[in-house]
Amino acid sequence: MASEGREDEHPSVTLFRRYLRIRTVHPEPDYGAAVAFLEERGRQLGLGCQKVEVAPGLVVTVLSWPGTDPTLSSVLLNSHTDVVPVFKECWSHDPFEAFKDAEGYIYARGAQDMKCVSIQYLEAVRRLKAEGRHFPRTIHLTFVPDEEIGGHQGMELFVQQPEFKALRAGFALDEGLANPTEAFTVFYRVRVTCTGKPGHGSRFIEDTAAEKLHKVVSSVLAFREEERRRLQSNPHLKLGAVTSVNLTKLEGGVAFNVVPATMSVGFDFRLAPDVDMKAFEEQLRGWCQAAGQGVTFEFAQKWTEPQVTSTADSDPWWAAFSGVCKDMSLTLEPEIFPASTDSRYLRAAGVPALGFSPMNRTPVLLHDHDERLHEAVFLRGVDIYARLLPALASVPALPDEG
C-alpha cells in the first residue's frame, strides 16, 4: 500500500484516504467517527460548526463559511456520510483500507459515492480561505446520514428542521454520476405480496404463493427486458430516459419442507419522465391480477412530484455553474439522473439543486466491487470546486433578495 502521509502524496489525497477508512457502512455505520472527523476539519478551517440531531444518534453536520452580505441566500454543498455494504471477498483490496495502487487508483467503498465530493468541498474551501478570498454569499457544507437507505432519517427530516430553514439556502450542489444536472426521475419501490395454499414440501400443492410470485416476476422482468432493448437500440437515449427496474428483495418461507402461505418480492422502479404514472400503476395492478387471487402490491417508497432544476441560460445559478465549466473547457452533458439522492428533498423544500460529481473518464463503480477513483481525477475535482464556489457564492442579488 502507498503509505498515508508519504512525502510524495498530495495532502488532499491523504485526507481523502483518512475519511475513506471511517467505516460508515450499513447496517451499522460509525457515524460518530465521521462527525468527529468533520468537526476536526471544520475547526482547522475556521468554519462554524453545527450538529443537528434529526433522529436518535443520527446527526447532520453543518460547516459554515459566512459571506459578506447576510441579506443574500446561501450556497449549500451537500454530501452524505454513509456508504453501502460490501462483499469483501469480491474486492481486490480491503474496501476500508483506502489502498492506493502503483497507478494512483484508490480502492475503497465510498471512493466515488461520495466521500470524494465531501473532501473536494473541504479542500476547495481550504484553498480559497488560504488565498484570503471572501464572497457575498455564505457557503454551508452539510454532511448527512442515511442517504443510502432512503434519507428518511437524514435529509428528509433535516429539511423540516428550523436549523435547515435558518441556512436560507438559495442553491445546492449534491452528488451526480459525473453529470452536471439531475432532473430527478420519478421512482417507485414496490412490494408485491402473494398468498397461496400452504402444506408439506413433499406434495404437489395447487395454487401456491410461489407459483403466483413466479408469474409476477416473469411479467416485470419481461417489461425490464423491453426497456433494456429500447435503450440499447437507440444511441440517442440515455439511462434516465427509459424506465429501469430491478428485483431487489425476496422474502418468504419458514423451512425447507414447508410450502409457505405467503411470499413477497420487492422491485425498484425508476420511471422515465414521460411515463403516465396512473397508467403505470394500472399496469402493475394488471400484472398482479394476472398472477391469480391473493396477489397485492404496495409502495414501499413512492416519489411522484419531481422538481426540475433549471438549466436555462437565463438562470443565474446555471449561468454561474456552466460559465465556470466553459472557462475550464469542461464538456457538460445535461441528462436525467437515473438514481435517487437527497437532492429530491432539497428541491421539494424549494431549493434548486444540481447533481455534480467531477469524475470524468472514470468507470461508474458506485455500489460495485472494487469501487475506486484515481487520485489525479480526485485532485482535478478539487480544482473544479475551487473555481465553482467563487462563482456561485458571488451570484448577484436575485429579485427576491436584498
Give yes or no: 30 in active site. Answer: no
What pLDDT, on a 0 to 100 scale, did the predictor assign at position 366? 72
For the segment 45-60, the average pLDDT, to the nearest whole number, is 97
What pLDDT, on a 0 to 100 scale, did the predictor assign at position 356? 81
Give yes or no: 371 in active site. Answer: no
Question: In sequence order, what are the residues at sequence separation of 6 or more whose Cβ sits closer than 8 angstroms to the Cβ of residue 310?
Answer: 317, 318, 352
Q: Tell me the β-bridge partners of 353.
A: 172
Amino acid at 173: L
Q: Which domains does the chain have, with CATH numbers?
A: 11-183+306-393 (3.40.630.10), 186-303 (3.30.70.360)
- C-alpha cell belonging to residue 284: 402493475
Q: Are strands 353-355 and 99-100 parallel, antiparallel or unpaired?
A: unpaired
Nearest to 86, CA basis, from 105, 110, 104:
110
What pLDDT, on a 0 to 100 scale, did the predictor assign at position 181? 35
Nearest to 216, CA basis, from 291, 267, 282, 268:
291
For the segment 129-140, the average pLDDT, to the nearest whole number, is 98
For the segment 29-58, the average pLDDT, to the nearest whole number, is 98
Q: How confident is the model at residue 280 (pLDDT cuts 50, 70, 90)?
A: confident
Identify which of 125-134, 172-181, 355-364 has the greatest average pLDDT.
Answer: 125-134
DSSP states of 110-142 as a string?
Answer: TTTTTHHHHHHHHHHHHHHHHTT---SS-EEEE
- C-alpha cell belonging to residue 68: 459578506
Q: Which residue is catalytic, options 82, 148, 335, 375?
A: 82
What pLDDT, on a 0 to 100 scale, did the predictor assign at position 344? 81
Nearest to 189, CA basis, from 168, 220, 222:
220
Chain segment 144-188, per-residue pLDDT in tens: 999 999 899 999 999 999 999 999 999 999 987 543 333 323 455
Burial of 98 (0-12, 13-18, 19+ CB in 10 A): buried
What pLDDT, on a 0 to 100 scale, did the predictor assign at position 402? 61
Amino acid at 331: T
pTM score, whole prediction: 0.74
Q: Which residue is catalytic, options 113, 123, 146, 147?
A: 147
Side-chain-side CA neighbours of 53 within 13 Å: the count stands at: 4
Distances (CA, A) of 249 to 84, 191, 193, 217: 16, 9, 12, 11
Distances (CA, A) of 36 to 27, 49, 145, 155, 390: 20, 11, 14, 19, 27
Assign 34 to helix, strand or coil: helix
